[in-house]
Amino acid sequence: MNTKEIIDKLTKLKINPKIAAFVEKYINAIPMVKREIEKQTDEMMIELEKSLRPYRDDFESYREIPTNGVDKEQVIKDMRAIKEMESKRWKEGYVSGTVYHGNDEFVEFLNEVYAINSQSNPLHSDLFPSSSKFEAEIISMTANMLGAKNTRDTICGSVSSGGTESILLAMKTYRDWARDTKGIKKPNMIVPDTAHAAFDKAAQYFGIKMIRIPMADDYRADVDAIKKAINKNTILLVGSAPTFPHGVIDPIEELAAIAKKKNIGMHVDACLGGFILPWIAKLGYPVAPFDFSVDGVTSMSSDTHKYGYAAKGTSVVLYRGMELRNYQYFTVTDWPGGLYFSPTFAGSRAGALSATCWAAMIAMGEDGYMDAADKIMKAATTIKQGIRDTPHVYVFGNPLWDISFGSDSLNIYEIMDFMTKKGWNINGLHKPSCIHICLTLRHTQEGVAETFIADLQEAVAYVEANPGADDGLAPVYGMAATLPLRGVVSDLLKKYMDAIYKV
């Protein structure tokens, strides 16, 4: 519909002529505004591309396969040099999340396990039955940690490549379950707006309508609003333990009770918290029930490669009952290539990742996980109190170790830029605007928590004295947080992804 057609329609609807004129002026201005924004984003991309290519002048780039193979010793030398450059960014504990263990001895242990199993492939279970052993035991250990021992139901699952795949698998499972058992052809899921973006991805991939519900004042899921949003096509509710943005646990018990009464699914996304919340609870910190011990919870996702301390590339998706899990499976029975089946999205997978996950879990043991959780919570207590003691900033909600904070008087993204210059790699969030640090074992090193608070206080004082600094990413985050034309922000993100793949 063009501008004239829109104005004609407004006229026929007897809209006030002044309002129609304003709409026409606004619509006509949009192309000019978009051009100006695109100009600004192009300028931003020049700087962002530089940050993505720090090795361009130091190491050889390969646009084509080299005619003669590069000497293996040179390959190893270059990789070790790159590793040394990159590890400086996270080893000292200046990075939010990302590297959850990082101890040299533990990493070398996992590397050795990976090397031993580097050729294994769970797709060929007849050749590598060890993969079946490892994955079955990973699932069982995770399930029992997450309440399986407290229910008579069978808790089963699969090992996936990460939290996003675990969530996608669960959403695909509910779609097919609802279609088969309830005849629902236009499914929807009701999701708090703080739930992980993987649920949006699942909605796009699998044709599930996403009904996002704004969070309550305490940054948790709004139970009453979610209850009101349920309709005949709703196939599941979602809650997080905890939410990534603000580190708070949604009211899982209330949501699960509603889901059970309505005979719909209840998925708990514990990708971030699954491998730390049970130990935090045992340490005596207040943790509301969130796992399969809660009647009505029908599935969970939990990342072994976060606080499970496995190598990157594994997660676990769990279901209450094998019947539900069966809707996740993929089988083909009439392919000329033979019988084909796959429990997850991938066909061939790196069995070595499952081996390192299994090794990490049994090497850590309950005592290792408890010790890690204790250290992280002590660092979190120091940082939360330090933020609360700092003027102009405040903590969002009542988080445990995943902490977001904002400001009502200063530009929080300018504070983040200052912290970046001090060496910190923390996350800028929006709706509402805030910055976020997810604590790991890296932050439990001596003096790290105290340094964070000292640098934050310096950042706040600097921004208070020098408002409007725009030589960092503050304008990018500010635009992303406030720009009503969300398509422009999406285009910026796509340009960034394009830049990632440039040689």
Report the pLDDT value the prediction gives residue 213, as an integer from 0 to 100: 98
CB-based contacts of 205, cutoff 8 Å, min separation 6: 168, 172
Residue 193: phi, psi to the nearest 5? -70, -5
Kindly list the distances between the CA atom of residue 487 and the CA atoms of 269, 457, 491, 494, in Å, as whole numbers in the listed order.
28, 36, 6, 10
> What would the mean pLDDT of 156-184 be, rounded to a whole number?
98
Lowest mean per-residue pLDDT among 261-270, 425-434, 437-446: 425-434
DSSP strand pairing (315-320 vs 299-302): antiparallel
CA distances to 198, 428, 469, 474 from 433, rounded to whole Å, are 21, 8, 17, 11
* Whether residue 7 has pLDDT greater than 90: no
Q: Name the more confident of 317 and 496.
A: 317
d(CA 308, CA 273): 10
Residue closest to 253 by CA, chosen among 244, 266, 236: 266
Share of residues in the chain with pLDDT > 90 (%): 79
pLDDT for 211-226, tens place per residue?
Answer: 999 999 999 999 999 9
Note the Cα 214 to chain centre separation in Å: 18
Angle at 168 between CA 191 and CA 117, to 5 degrees: 140
Which ranges constitute the DSSP H helices of 146-183?
163-182
H or E stretch including 115? helix 104-116
DSSP string, 463-501: HHHSTT--SSSHHHHHHHHH-S-HHHHHHHHHHHHHHHT
d(CA 503, CA 493): 18
In three-state secondary structure terms, 94 is coil
Q: How far apart are CA 308 and CA 305, in angstroms?
A: 6
Q: Give yes or no for residue 203 having a pLDDT over 70.
A: yes
List the strands of the sheet with 394-395, edge to edge: 394-395, 402-406, 434-438, 427-429
Q: Is 184 within 8 Å of 364 (Cβ atoms)?
A: no
As a whole number, mean pLDDT of residues 414-439 equals: 94
Amino acid identity of residue 270, one-letter, is: A
Question: On the CB side of 260, how many CA atoms lie within 13 Å of its CA?
Answer: 14
| Element holding 399 (H helix, E strand) | none
β-sheet bridge partners, residue 436: 404, 427
Instruction: Name the DSSP letter for residue 400.
Output: S
Task: Indicate the pLDDT class of residue 132, thresholds 50, 70 and 90.
Answer: very high
Phi-psi region of 407 (alpha: psi -120 to 50; beta: other; left: phi over 0): beta
Distance (Å, whole) CA 104 – CA 410: 39
444 Rama sector, left if φ>0, alpha if ψ -120 to 50, beta otherwise: alpha
Between the alpha carbon of residue 403 and those of residues 79, 97, 163, 406, 437, the distances in Å are 34, 11, 20, 10, 5
At 258-273, the pLDDT tens digits run 999 999 999 999 999 9
pLDDT of residue 64: 94
- Check whether 18 has a pLDDT greater than 60: no
One of 3.40.640.10, 3.40.980.10, 3.40.50.2300, 3.30.980.20 is the CATH number of 120-361, namely: 3.40.640.10
Cβ atoms of 449 and 441 closer than 8 Å: no
Burial of 95 (0-12, 13-18, 19+ CB in 10 A): buried
Q: Cite the beta strand spans of 231-346 per DSSP E.
A: 234-240, 265-269, 299-302, 315-320, 330-332, 340-342
Give 403's contacts (C-beta < 8 A, 6+ positions apart): 247, 380, 383, 384, 387, 395, 436, 437, 438, 439
- Other CB atoms closer than 10 Å to residue 323's CB: what's the count? 12
User: What's the pLDDT tens digit per position in 373-411?
Assistant: 999 999 999 999 999 999 999 999 999 999 999 999 999
Query: Global pTM?
Result: 0.88
Residue 50: per-residue pLDDT: 73
pLDDT of residue 28: 58
